[in-house]
Homo-oligomer: A and B are copies of this chain.
Amino acid sequence: MKRASIKDIARIAGVSVATVSYVLNKKEGSRISEATQKKILEVAQSINYTPNKIAKSLKMSKSKLIGLIVADISNDFYSNIARSIEDEAMKLGYTLLIGSCDENPEKFAKLTELFSEQQVDGMIVAPVVDSDDAINKLIREEYPIVTIDRYLKNIDLPGVMINNFEISEQICNHLLLKNFDELIYVGYDTELPHLLDRQDGFDKRAEKSGTSIKRILTGIHHITEEVHQQLRDNLDLSKKTAIYFSSNKLGIAGLRYLIDNNIKVPENVSLVAFDETEAYYLFPTEVSFVRQPLEELARESVKLLDNQINSYAKEGRRVTFKAEFIERSSVE
């Protein structure tokens, strides 16, 4: 069955397609008689007309589509962000294309390519290491872009992020007050700037104090195994130790290690994790964690993008939100 077009409406209603278009778009400027309007609306209804946005997009050069590129939509953090972005985008009349790039610059480039072929009006992206080329290409083609969660070292793009350095500094400070013998930072062996900030904040503060600090850095592909292995090698229960897991995945891997090895929190070791996830609430001790303001990040990212798309703001800004330290009983 061929789907009805405005041509069909025009034919049945005995008017021109132009008139149909005017009525359907409720343009104020050109007044169409009440009678014709009613007629057209009736016909549209009766033949079950659905506008073809693709034709409209082609004519108008805007698609009302926005693309979202994350590392992995099945990761709690990103699926929560995606959900908020979806709601926000919907409010502004956008539909969301979603793609996961697995920290892989080729996949990232492929997705930007795909989205750009689909004529998205703009993209919200969490850029990966070595994605500069793909991003620069988008910039040359004047695509509105907003970064989320992450940012790029060498390209100044509007985006949203949290105060990674400061929150880590704050966590470290909190731990220092409790006089631990040793602090362990668990993070990724990565070049992603926002994660380096997260690490630096902790490191710098610890250095100043002179407290012994160890770093456990894992690759992104075998997080669980690597965290377990390195905790086995590095965790010395004879010392009073606190661990800072700098992401939800790391936190979950670490907590699981503690469970599996019957290490009690905070009796044997203290800890703080990053991001809020349901999993933390099933751990036998109430896990202290860093909460990111997901809705705010999402809302602002869509707003920044929409501003660019409509050129309300020529140059977007980089907006930093404050993460919140939720203190529960895993530190003692």
Which of B52, B53, B141, B282 touches A279 (beta carbons < 8 Å)? B282
B119 engages A54 (CB within 8 Å): yes
Among A110-118, A183-191, A213-221, which stretch is in contact with chain B? A110-118
Per-residue B-contact encoding for A202-232, CB less than 8 Å = 1, 0 else: 0000000000000000000000000000000
Tell me if A237 counts as interface (CB < 8 A to partner B).
Answer: no
B95 touches A48 (CB 8 A): no
Chain A contact residue count (CB 8 A cutoff): 54
A80, A280, A282: which has the most chain B beta carbons within 10 Å?
A282
B50 and A116 contacting across the interface, CB-CB below 8 Å: yes
Residue in A63, A72, A116, A118 whose Cβ sees the most chain B Cβ within 10 Å: A118
Check B118–A53 contact: CB distance below 8 A: yes
Partner of A73, one of B72, B86, B90: B86
A14 within 8 A of B: no
Q: Does A55 reach chain B (CB closer than 8 Å)?
A: yes
Picked from B48, B73, B119, B256, the residue with its CB within 8 Å of the CB of A282 is: B256
* Interchain CB contact under 8 A, A48 and B3: no
Among the listed B1, B99, B119, B256, which residue makes an inter-chain contact with A86, where contact means beta carbons less than 8 Å apart?
B99
Q: Is the CB of A96 within 8 A of B97?
A: yes
Q: A259: CB under 8 A from chain B?
A: yes
Given known A74-B80, A282-B256, A282-B259, contact A52–B117 (CB-CB < 8 A): yes
List residues of chain A with CB under 8 Å of any chain B CB: 1, 3, 48, 50-55, 57-58, 63, 65, 72-76, 79-80, 82-83, 86-87, 90, 95-100, 113-119, 137, 140-142, 252, 255-256, 259, 277-284
